[in-house]
Amino acid sequence: MSTSQQKPVIGISIGDLNGIGTELAIKTFSDSRLLEICTPILFASNKLINFYRKSIPDSTFNYQHIKDLSRPFHKQVNLFNCWEEEVAISPGQLTDTGGTYAIKSLIAASEALKDKKIDGLVTAPIHKKNIQSDSFSFTGHTPYLKHFFGMKDVLMLMSSENFRVGLVTEHVPVSEIVKFITRDAIISKLNILKDSLIRDFGIDKPRIAVLGLNPHAGDEGLIGREEEDIIKPAIKDAKHNMLVFGPYSADAFFARNQQQKFDAVLAMYHDQGLIPFKSLSSGEGFNYTAGLPAIRTSPDHGTAFDIAGKNKADNASFLAALYGCLDIVEKRKEFNENHKNPLKKMGSVVLAGAEDERIEEN
């Protein structure tokens, strides 16, 4: 563990200054019991935190400033100032400033994650429009983190208890989705999903369902050829090293609660997977970027400008993202320990067996 031998250190990027991200962080860490299981570091500014703290009159939220990320206070909320200048805060408004400083927070937190100054990162919501600039041309956290960590591919994975949905395509216009549904793309996402289920969720032999692209999964080629020409061959290839099934018709699959028979579902596009996920998870799911060398989660919703600054934000999904981050930190630690030196582990098992035999002989 990077900075604490006792508790994971979890970074929080604050999201759009005018959205609900700061309010979610304040409400979440007003519960001091969380400080028993993690050490949070908010990547924001003192003035931003104090601005929103005033809008939550019953809050018991307190924090300490830190300048050295390697020396956080382990029984308090920590604040790492990402900027000192005066910044206009306009709750509920889509402004360039809100996006610019959201990215300052995200970059600082991502660098801390990459440098292992924090053990995991929870990202508060950003808005895809006002984050765009000459230096930041990504459609969201997932493609940015893929680029930042230099990964060939990653997977957007939604999770709520035992219900998980991954996406082949993410923020792609509906008219262009089919261009990104390729055999290689599906196999790549399936491999990332399988590896993450094993390493990050502790499932030894995960079962994965794959949805079709067209209505009725193409009806044997009658309604589109993608299932016959692309998706079925990809599934056949993937069966060589994983338990994968499908393609299933998306409407019937969720209507019959078939997701309960699988450890994860791979959907072809954003709304195909996220509409049923958000409907069935009741606002308590979170987003996880599978395939990164580091751990990043986020709530499964956006900036919610309509309620920003009104003390109306529900932190259930943010809390789920925090717990999910902590769970994955622990699961990945266990996995790494168990696979650190398989020969040594095998030797220990042999020695233990020999010792048992000696005890029985005596």
Per-residue pLDDT tens digits for 51-75:
999 999 888 899 999 999 999 999 9
> In angstroms, what CA-CA distances link 161 with 109, 265, 280, 333, 334?
26, 14, 11, 20, 19
Instruction: Assess whether the region 1-151+292-362 and the region 153-289 belong to the same CATH fold.
Output: yes
For 153-289, CATH number out of 3.30.565.10, 3.40.718.10, 3.30.465.10, 2.60.40.10 equals 3.40.718.10
DSSP label of 268: S
Q: What is the pLDDT of residues 142-190, one digit of tens each?
A: 999 999 999 999 999 999 999 999 999 999 999 999 999 999 999 999 9
Instruction: For the chain, give the mean pLDDT.
Output: 92
CATH of domain 1-151+292-362: 3.40.718.10
**Domain chopping of the chain, boundaries:** 1-151+292-362, 153-289
Backbone angles phi, psi at 26, to 5 degrees: -65, -45
pTM, two decimals, is 0.90
- 323 burial type by CB count under 10 A (0-12 exposed, 13-18 middle, 19+ buried): middle
Return d(Cα 49, Cα 54) in angstroms, integer: 9
The 3-state DSSP class for residue 23 equals: helix
Pairing of strands 207-211, 243-248: parallel
